[in-house]
Amino acid sequence: MEMYEQNYMRLRCLCPEIRRLEGHHVSQVEGAHDLHLIVLEQVRHTTTLQLTYLMDDGTLRPDVTLRIYHDALQAEVLSRRCQLNGELMKAERIPTQAALACKWKANRFLYKWLNYCGRQGHGFHDRVARGSERDLCEV
């Protein structure tokens, strides 16, 4: 659960007003791929979104769908597939322990990727972070 909380904080640094967003947003940083944030669903206590880069060849990589739980202050990767022993499998077919390991790997990846995006200077906000908010978001 701690990683979900860390991912939530990192996402809020990337996009402080995430609860108010709708549609498709793009963060552009010189020398980096454009980061796309697409709000798929926005309801009272959760936001579901897609976060990805649009690569030069037109593919989306990584293509991560995540759910943000505003009331619990957590964010998790929603993934229906996992690579196990070199084979891509549906999550429903993976034994419980392996499924938990796959989920942990996906959320660990999100944690590292959000840090990387922050270091590159990506962000989805109209205002400059002030004071303690800026300090919390430094990676």
136 within a domain of the structure (yes/no) = no
Q: What is the pLDDT of residue 134?
A: 46
- 4-26: per-residue pLDDT in tens? 999 999 999 999 999 999 999 99
Q: Are 24 and 16 in contact (CB under 8 A)?
A: no
139 within a domain of the structure (yes/no) = no
Mean pLDDT of all residues belonging to the chain: 85
Cα 92 off chain centre by: 22
Give the structural domain span for 117: 2-128
3-class SS of residue 24: strand
Q: How many domains does the chain have?
A: 1
134 within a domain of the structure (yes/no) = no
Q: Are 60 and 48 in contact (CB under 8 A)?
A: no
- 36-93: per-residue pLDDT in tens? 999 999 999 999 999 999 898 989 899 899 999 999 999 999 976 665 555 555 555 6
48 within a domain of the structure (yes/no) = yes
83 within a domain of the structure (yes/no) = yes
